[in-house]
Amino acid sequence: MEIIHLSAECYPVAKVGGLGDVVGALPKYQCQAGHYAKVVMPAYNTKFMHQNQWRKEYEQDISFGSYRLHYEVLKEKTNKLGFDLYCVLIDGLTNRDSVYSENDDTERFLAFQIATLDWMSQWKHQPDVIHCHDHHTALVPFMIQHCGRFQRLSKVKTVFTIHNGQYQGWFDWSKVIYLPAFDKWKAGLLDWSSIINPMASAIRCADAVTTVSWSYMHELMEKANGLEALFQQLHYKCYGVLNGIDFEVWNPESDIYLQHHYTVENVQEVKQQHKEEICEIFELDAKKPLIVFIGRLVSEKGADLLPDAIGRALYETHGQVNYLVLGSGDTRVENQLASLKYLCKGIYNCFIGYNEALSHRMYAAADFIVMPSRVEPCGLNQMYALRYGTIPMVRSTGGLKDTVTDYGEPEGFGIRFDHASTNDIIISTHRALQLYQDQPRFQSLRKLIMSFNNSWEKSQERYERIYKNA
């Protein structure tokens, strides 16, 4: 099959969160399975765009409300990502330093979707599937069915994947002028609670709807930021497909960010070496268990709980553990975590910001990773941690519940807790310390989790079946 992935993010071109990791990996595994997968995304002003070679595939002007916009489609020449990559350049809209903005994302991603469909309408053939990711590309299923301008694509099947149902791309009806002319009798397919809701439109119009874990699909039936009834009504075309991870990028045997590589045979010695180096940088004690948090410092990740929970956990364990945090987000949380360094010197530290290399080194160095998420559609960090022999401490929600079994249960290997609360994080810290002190069991679990296969192979096969059903 020929599969076109449309996304706002794709690692390593531009990444803000897990969406970028997924779109950077799934097409590669689909190509390896014999399909012809491509990625189309906006052309941002990123390092990747400047450091690689591009060929102009197409250019054209399009109407966009009362404006005329010029767009160019650029193709990466070398196929270095393992699939064909196309970036759509619209001067003044896509070529920004950051992926998202606070003011005009509606216009930016609408223009990207319209330009992409305008280009695809000129192809001499039609792809089998257009796979749209999150609300930034969610109006594509509606437009190819109901905008006359894209009638040539009307028989192409569409699959819509929800990576995070909390963000739905809402915008006011006054901006409907940006859409190409469509059958006004179909306007109801855009509307939800008297505003245009791209995610709701995609759920209605796509041939299949997926989320990134089984449990998250069930959770959306009960709590979907206003779309619960829609998921319940259209459940027959909704599927949960657990994300995988890229085993080539996330591989302790060959990770380009690691100085010392390791396998399950020498994990104990080499992880301790990584731990000693990280602890030296951040002035921590390498003899104690190291618990890390890696991710966005936002409420849905439970990051607002961390300052109080870490401070109390370190006090209650009498400083027998280390905590290290890497992330950025809510300014208030950033300041609280930075201030905690002075109160817990020698047993806690943090790096406020985004640092891909440091994140890989922390996975290699850590004994445990804590994920107290309020919402976690899939979660990739726990799977990265398993790959690197780092035991996850996770809240039982979404994909975390699907991928981590508590070590107190038969065949369990991680630490799970029920509530996104300070107390549950503290109790989990005590349990982590207890497990770490039982070194034979701890090292046995470490070797066990490194043997798990959380690659994209099984998930790719599941998507293949969904495409064929569509």
| Dist CA 379 CA 411 (whole Å) | 21
Question: What's the Cα-to-Cα distance from 36 to each of 101, 161, 232, rounded to whole Å?
Answer: 32, 19, 33
Count CA atoms within 13 Å of residue 466 on its CB side: 26
Classify residue 177 as exposed, middle or buried by CB count within 10 Å of its CB (0-12, 13-18, 19+): exposed
Q: Is residue 17 scored above 90 in pLDDT? A: no
Contact 138, 175 (CB under 8 A): no
Averaged pLDDT score across all residues of the chain = 96
Domains and CATH numbers, the chain: 2-244+457-469 (3.40.50.2000), 267-450 (3.40.50.2000)
Lookup: tokens for 325: 């945090």
Lookup: tokens for 407: 């070590």
Q: What is the pLDDT of residue 181?
A: 96
Contact 323, 348 (CB under 8 A): yes
E strand intervals along 355-452: 368-371, 391-395, 415-417
E strand intervals along 310-434: 322-327, 348-352, 368-371, 391-395, 415-417
**b/e map 140-158, b = 16+ CB within 10 Å:** bbbbbbbbebbeebeebbb
Residue in the block written with tokens 């020498």:
266
| Dist CA 168 CA 162 (whole Å) | 9
- DSSP letter (8 states) at residue 317: T
Q: Which residue has the higher pLDDT, 17 or 428?
A: 428
Element housing 243 (H / E) = none
Rg (CA), the chain: 23
Give the predicted TM-score (pTM) of the model.
Answer: 0.91
Residue 10 in 3-state DSSP? strand
Q: What percent of the chain has pLDDT over 90?
A: 98
| Dist CA 93 CA 35 (whole Å) | 32
Closest CA to 359 of 440, 256, 286: 256
Q: What is the pLDDT of residue 339?
A: 96
User: pLDDT tens across 156-205, in order?
Assistant: 999 999 999 999 999 999 999 999 999 999 999 999 999 999 999 999 99
User: pLDDT tens across 137-161, in order?
Assistant: 999 999 999 999 999 999 999 999 9
Classify residue 14 as exposed, middle or buried by CB count within 10 Å of its CB (0-12, 13-18, 19+): buried
Average pLDDT over residues 452-465: 94
Average pLDDT over residues 421-447: 98
Chain Cα centroid distance, residue 94: 20
Average pLDDT over residues 322-342: 97
Average pLDDT over residues 213-223: 94
Q: What is the pLDDT of residue 102?
A: 86
Q: Specify which residues 324 forms β-bridges with.
A: 292, 349
Average pLDDT over residues 38-54: 97
Q: Is residue 116 scored above 90 in pLDDT? A: yes
Question: What's the Cα-to-Cα distance from 357 to each of 250, 257, 279, 382, rounded to whole Å?
Answer: 12, 5, 16, 17
| Dist CA 290 CA 273 (whole Å) | 13
Q: Specify which residues 195 forms β-bridges with.
A: 192
Lookup: tokens for 302: 């439970």
Average pLDDT over residues 341-362: 96
Give the model's confidence band at 345: pLDDT under 50 very low, under 70 low, under 90 confident, else very high.
very high
